[in-house]
């Protein structure tokens, strides 16, 4: 078991800070007298073993760490929360093993162990491959309300390319796609990962930054791209990343990807997994920790 049970309130923010900007921290708020807490505890422990290299797992006794529990408005036990970059990202209440497992898999898949280490996500999807040192999958920083894909199939949408459910993104009426991904804060983009195989895999890709609106397909072909590349089969294999011109991707609020064609001239293009890799700009200033974390009585 790799769950850490905290003994003092001060340890909570210390553990969030130690996790850094990339690792999610899952917290089990429990009480010793709570029957459902005891029932689901083995599930939390099992998940901690499975994702030990991808996340931090904490237990907080609400009677012992009263300030922490009150600060995050814990009113029911058990309550499970996910924190990332010191901010609360997700929460579920009650002893629901399926919901707990889904939450852990969702957030732990954005950070992966170094090559050769144990604890990789058993889903076997693109998110489970090692990332460049110091970089992270930026999925958890995406603003879904401002992200979109033009010409996506009704049955195979952009969201299918993010997760661990085995779905994929496919174009609709022809081979082209325009994918716009907005972030909830400024990012430094290091690289991207595209998993695809066969004649439907994308070939020519053009990238644009911080556009006020998604371009139409004619404009995407004629506009000056920040970077353009022609993908090979090797570029889209598991474990591969496509390096970006890092100096040009230092202040990214949104990125638009135009997929012009595919490897085999097929009618539609398919992407099995897509990930943008980098770091939030804000994490470079650790002096902001106290202000970002807030006071004990604040929740995020």
Residue 164 in contact with residue 127, Cβ under 8 Å? yes
Of 2, 3, 4, 34, catalytic: 34
Q: Is 82 a catalytic residue?
A: no
| The length of the chain, given as a count of residues | 300
Q: Is 37 a catalytic residue?
A: yes
Give the three-state DSSP class for 283: helix
Structure-token match 């921290």, residue found: 25
Of 25, 19, 20, nearest to 300 (Cα)? 25
Residue 107 in contact with residue 23, Cβ under 8 Å? no
List Cα–Cα distances, 148 to 136, 152, 161, 227, 286, in angstroms.
22, 9, 12, 20, 32
Of 16, 19, 37, 252, catalytic: 37
Report the C-alpha gap between 159 and 64 in whole angstroms: 41
In what helix (H) or strand (E) does residue 71 lie, and over which residues does it extend?
helix 66-71
* Residues with a known catalytic role: 34, 37
């Amino acid at each position: 078991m790799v769950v850490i049970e905290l003994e003092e309130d001060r340890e909570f923010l210390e553990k969030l800070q130690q996790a850094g900007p990339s690792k999610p921290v899952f917290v089990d708020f429990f009480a010793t007298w709570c029957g459902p807490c005891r029932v689901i505890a083995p599930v939390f422990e099992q998940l901690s073993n499975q994702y030990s290299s991808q996340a931090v797992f904490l237990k907080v006794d609400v009677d012992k760490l009263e300030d922490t529990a009150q600060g995050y408005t814990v009113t029911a036990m058990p309550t499970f929360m996910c924190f990332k970059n010191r901010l609360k990202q997700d929460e579920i209440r009650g002893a629901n093993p399926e919901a707990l497992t889904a939450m852990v898999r969702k957030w732990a898949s954005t950070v992966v162990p170094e090559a050769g280490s144990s604890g990789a996500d058993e889903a076997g999807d693109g998110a489970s491959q090692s990332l460049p040192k110091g970089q992270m999958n930026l999925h958890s920083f995406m603003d879904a309300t401002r992200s979109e894909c033009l010409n996506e199939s009704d049955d195979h949408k952009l969201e299918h390319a993010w997760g661990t459910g085995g779905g994929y993104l496919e174009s609709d009426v022809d081979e082209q796609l325009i994918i716009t991904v907005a972030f909830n804060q400024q990012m430094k983009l290091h690289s991207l990962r595209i998993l695809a195989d066969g004649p439907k895999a994308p070939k020519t890709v053009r990238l644009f930054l911080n556009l006020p609106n998604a371009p139409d397909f004619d404009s995407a072909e004629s506009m000056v791209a920040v970077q353009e590349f022609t993908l090979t089969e090797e570029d889209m294999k598991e474990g591969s990343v496509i390096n970006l011109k890092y100096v040009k991707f230092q202040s990214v609020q949104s990125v638009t990807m135009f997929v012009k064609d595919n490897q085999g001239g097929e009618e539609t293009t398919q992407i099995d997994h897509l990930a943008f890799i980098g770091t939030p700009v804000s994490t470079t200033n650790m002096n902001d920790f106290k202000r970002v974390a807030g006071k004990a009585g604040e929740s995020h």
